[in-house]
Amino acid sequence: MEQKLETENPRLFSAVTSDSKTHVVTVKLVNASSVAQTVKIDLGAGTKVKGTAAVTTLGGKTTLETNSITEPKRIVPAVSRIANVAGKFEHTVPQYSIQVIEIGVE
């Protein structure tokens, strides 16, 4: 299975892995930009995917935002789901964030 990510932003980094035992494609995205970025994710021709994907996001509003002793949970991973998953789809990555998208494939 060939996977591709298309973006115009040099401050958006990605890695894609596939696990044939669990039938999960994992897309890791890092947006080091101050604006949200839309990426085109192409899992390859003929790839059958399950309808939704799990997304874990860790991010802040600025590069200076951190956890502290008084606010130890200011920045924590948030898990959500996306429903527009297909062999080819677009996804928007929030500013200053790291995302891990887990896509079930058949």
Domain residues for the domain of 69 are 4-105
Question: What global pTM score does this model have?
Answer: 0.86
Amino acid of residue 1: M
Nearest alpha-carbon partner for 15 in 6, 26, 7, 1: 26
Percentage of the chain exceeding pLDDT 70: 92
CATH number of the domain within which 94 lies = 2.60.40.1180
Per-residue pLDDT of the chain (106 residues; tens, 9 = 90+): 555 566 666 788 989 999 989 999 999 999 999 999 999 898 887 888 988 899 999 998 898 999 999 999 999 999 999 998 998 899 999 999 999 999 999 8
Q: pLDDT tens-digit profile of 27-42? A: 999 999 999 999 989 8
Sign of CA dihedral 83, 85, 91, 95: positive
105 vs 49: CA distance, rounded Å = 4
> What tokens appear for 100 in the block?
């891990």
Number of compact structural domains in the chain: 1
